[in-house]
Structure 1
């Protein structure tokens, strides 16, 4: 076991056996979390049937995980820098596995929701930690290739997720979408302990912003609870009280972050107009994506009569297209500038969502009714994901790239969290109505129009707020900007996290 931090100039080579072990460990760890994010939505209809869950329970099954993940992910990387990246990564993997096991044996929706929240804590530790291992373990000359391999292999995990999830739900049962994480985690821990060197930031000092993390989580929890409760038959006080509490916590959070020497969310990054506008675009786009992938599996299984396996495979073209085209789109954005792709990509995505309104109880042909829509949607998403990440990083100085990436990733998860909470209320789907094919079909069409509208708003913001020409700041020696190293991306929940340890050349 390697416990000492290697010298700064040292590190393993990507082509060496040690390098392959490090890469495999990191990919398996992040892939486990990515698989969980893609398969749970496929399982929602069957899960609801087996546990007698209401729609609110299904919303919390998704949002319980997103709430703790979004609230704590900005702290996850900091813990690794301070206490050891391998140690925190392994802790996250073990935590995630134990919570997954609890999800798998849950006998009621309340236990499942609590276990999903615990899963989010583990995800907040292992998600940034997986990339931190790659960035800190390899030699300087091999890091870009290692990060690219990590990103591409993670894309393969994302592509496998819907198929595997559908197979498990239709075969052994929905519980195995959680239980399968246990043996994967055991392999990851064994490899990490034996083959991954420990590393940490020797200059890390000061206290962690626990108060900021708690206030952020309470803010999101209050608003999310109010939105979900509003779609049920509850009193006005049940909705207004948590909503007000969430808003108050949000205001206090901003004040606390503005006064702390080492805040979880440095408000200074929002001094960049471009960074702020790109996060608004992120909120719109990932709210739309989160809403689609919450209601589409329900529409396919309840209204269109698909099996879980068919529903999982139905969206596979989106993942494949993102896997193949996100890197070329990022390269094109560097040549012509991000604005054309950030304007056209969301519009094309919105067109694909409107095509999905053709999916109905009478949709017997996948090729005619579903495939054209998901292909158009996948092409649109492939156009904007990589340029969006690149523009976010280029909007801040390179020393702040880690913070910028973390904030953008958290913004995407918050957008998905709020979309899952608010969309059923907006489309009039509540209680047990998700079991009715007619009610689901009616609500689904409304949802696609709302999500397409969010894509249109994102396109408008990009057209108005993103400068024309090359990525801003790239090549400016006076204020060097970071460039993304993750070239491939096919996850739905958030943009790829980028390494935050890069420094300008001297």
Structure 2
């Protein structure tokens, strides 16, 4: 890649870093938020789920926003909205206001990934996209490394409000730097937005995730408060998918799933992201509530996993340009399953923290060889015009899976706590957090059992991703003769290059 492509790639990591830090830092804070805001762990799960759903809600509009306002204005506007949402979240006065301000953050952050990925991938030829993805994947290394440790220190020595305010300096710096790095693009005020598609997809996803989030409180799936939103949400999403193939400018151009590897890549990303990110709240809950230790320690235990993920990502995203993505991703998922299952097997009321950290590093190695390599492999066969539609679809699927997985694992943990430690009553983990050390010890073994089975559920989702990964491309990327001249793609509302007509999807 030439110097301008590298400069662009490094700049785009700033936006990605903001989004990843904000996800990981809030997970560490969940037990403290539940206690300070006087609510349950399932409700606190919405601090992450609402953020992820807002990301999903706005991601499909990225192409339209870029065309309507121009790429640079769209990207900088998204950064500004995300930074403003971070400021407001720090001033939240209850769980409702915190969730609302997290939605504001998500609406800004949701535009950063699809815009940034499309810009990055269009700057290099198909045979070099693995290298660009390794650069774009740096936030996966830095975010989980910085977020939990810094968040834990802020929780222990300052206030949970500072876990949102730490976004301010990076956000402001990125906005100022973007005026120099991002080239100006022309806006097209006549661009059309698929409003009906938006009104089908976003409420559909929100209802489905809400249904999953209350399963723990309602005692299972087969209850009215769970089934009604689940069925309604599934119906709306199905209606969206049916309509997307029959209109000329759909919100998401699902026809790109016909590209070799795209459907398998989307399914693999969905299952793996649900299992992996859904499990993020488990270890902080175990450390802070079951063991009674600090948030700083909970964040520190995540360092080996974050480092292993980032280092393996740099290797694996380059490797998929030269060897079979099916082999790389398959080995990655198998490693992540092994690490997660081993953690679940050894976890009890006094499991060695170094052992948990080592097993977390094993999971991290597998993750680094899975998520970004899968996206690189899935996008390999996409033409330059199809890149915006493909990357928007992949990032939408990924963040939908994060919201779904977080809701599902939080609900499972809440239900498991009620099953294994019924003496805590309806308070569950939050009631345990308020116990004195001597009283908490009486419940430690039972709570550890709940955590173990929640981890096992995460391992099952990861294992299902291995099955779908068998459909990924099996060969190496086609060789290229060199890098193209730097180009800034102008996205269209139909997912293609602006100004180039595209026939309606059938």
TM-score (norm 1): 0.81
Instruction: Say yes or no: does 1:102 pair with 2:88.
Output: yes
Give how far 1:248 is off: 2.2
Name the residue aligned to 2:491.
none
Provide the secondary structure at the position in 2 that maps to 1:106: coil
CA shift in 2, pair 1:411/1:149, >3 Å: closer
User: In 2, distance between residues paired with 1:460 and 1:446?
Assistant: 22
Number of the residue aligned with 1:450: 457
User: What is the DSSP-based 3-state SS (H/G/I as helix, E as strand, rest coil) of the residue aligned with 1:246?
Assistant: helix
Q: Aligned partners of 1:37, 1:49: CA distance in 2, in Å?
A: 19
Once the two structures are superposed, the pairs formed by residues 220-239 of structure 1 within 5 Å of their partners are 220-233=205-218, 236-239=223-226
Match of 2:476 in 1: 470
In 1, Cα distance between equivalents of 2:215 and 2:406: 13
Relative to 1, partners in 2 of residues 1:424 and 1:132: Cα closer, same or farther, differing over 3 Å? Answer: closer
Please give the residue correspondences for 1:54-73 in structure 2 after superposition, counting only pairs within 5 Å.
54-73=40-59
Identify the residue that residue 386 of structure 2 maps to in structure 1.
400
Instruction: Tell me the CA shift for residue 13 of structure 1.
Output: 5.9
Q: Secondary structure of the residue that 1:349 maps to in structure 2?
A: helix
**Structure 1 contact 31–158 (Cα < 8 Å) conserved:** no
Moved more, 216-225 or 334-343: 334-343
| Pairwise CA distance, 1:67 | 0.6
Alignment of 1:289-368 (within 5 A): 289-357=276-344, 358-363=346-351, 365-367=352-354
Match runs of 1:485-500 below 5 Å: none
Which stretches in structure 1 are left out of the alignment for 5+ residues?
Answer: 1-11, 483-498
- Whether the 8 Å contact between 2:304 and 2:358 is mirrored in structure 1 is no
Residues 360 and 441 in structure 1, CA contact (< 8 A), matched pair in contact too: yes
RMSD over aligned CA atoms reads 3.4
**Partner residue of 1:212 out of 197, 210, 235:** 197
Match of 2:150 among 164, 167, 170: 164
CA contact (8 A) 1:42 1:166 kept: yes
Question: What's the TM-score, normalizing by structure 2?
Answer: 0.81
Q: Judging changes above 3 Å, is the alpha-carbon distance between structure 1 residues 269 and 126 closer, same or farther for their aligned structure 2 residues?
A: closer
Task: Quickly say closer, same or farther: Cα 1:438–1:211, change in 2 above 3 A.
Answer: farther
Provide, for residues 104-162 of structure 1, a one-character-per-residue CA deviation record: whole Å limited to 9, x for no partner: 11121111111111211011233334556768999xxx999988655447743442222
In structure 1, C-alpha distance between the alignment counterparts of 2:142 and 2:36, rounded to whole Å? 30
Q: What is the Cα deviation at residue 244 of structure 1? A: 2.6
Give the match's secondary structure for 1:362.
coil
**Rounded Cα–Cα distance in structure 1 between residues aligned with 2:118 and 2:167:** 21
Give me the whole-angstrom Cα distance separating, in 2, the residues matched to 1:144 and 1:453: 28
Q: Number of residue pairs matched?
A: 459
- When residues 440 and 356 of structure 1 are mapped into structure 2, their CA distance, relative to the original with a 3 A threshold, is same
Structure 2 gap ranges (5+): 419-425, 433-443, 485-494, 499-506
Greater RCO (CA < 8 Å, at least 6 residues apart): 2
Deviation at 1:317, TM superposition (A): 1.4
Given that 1:71 and 1:214 are in contact with CA atoms closer than 8 Å, whether structure 2 keeps it comes out as no
Alpha-carbon distance, 1:101 to partner: 2.0
The answer as to 2:227 corresponding to 1:240 is: yes
C-alpha distance in structure 1 between counterparts of 2:461 and 2:241, whole Å: 26
